[in-house]
Amino acid sequence: MHEYSIVQALLDQCEEIAKDNQANRVTKVICKIGVMSGIENHLLQVAFDTFKEKTLCENAEFIINSQKLKLLCQECNFEFEIDDLIYKCIKCNSLNIKVIDGEEMYLMSLEME
């Protein structure tokens, strides 16, 4: 389960940001996770709840915003989002598309005190 190692890196990053900002604790962690990131949101939540103990994030709320797959058709220049993993333009049916978003995980923001 690679969610555990992802959460450990996330918690390390949160702690570093909090210390750089002289914060005593993190109250909210907001992440964006793309549908093609390979991360299971539920498992990530469980891992966060498990490993946040004894960190500055111990009482933090963890919010996961799911990012749909965002694509750009390179034939008709149409940009669109889809839930399904179909790499085809929904406007012109071209297969010449580029992934713009939905493959990564990002730490979007922290609330700290």
The full DSSP string for 53-100 is TTSTTTT-EEEEEEE-EEEEETTT--EEEESS---S-TTT--S-EEEE
Structural domains present in the chain: 3-112 (3.30.2320.80)
Tell me the pLDDT of the chain averaged across its residues: 94
pLDDT (0 to 100) of residue 83: 81
14-66 pLDDT per residue, tens: 999 999 999 999 999 999 999 999 999 999 999 999 999 999 999 999 999 99
pLDDT (0 to 100) of residue 85: 78
Buried/exposed 65-75: b ≥16 CB within 10 Å, e otherwise: eebebbbbbee
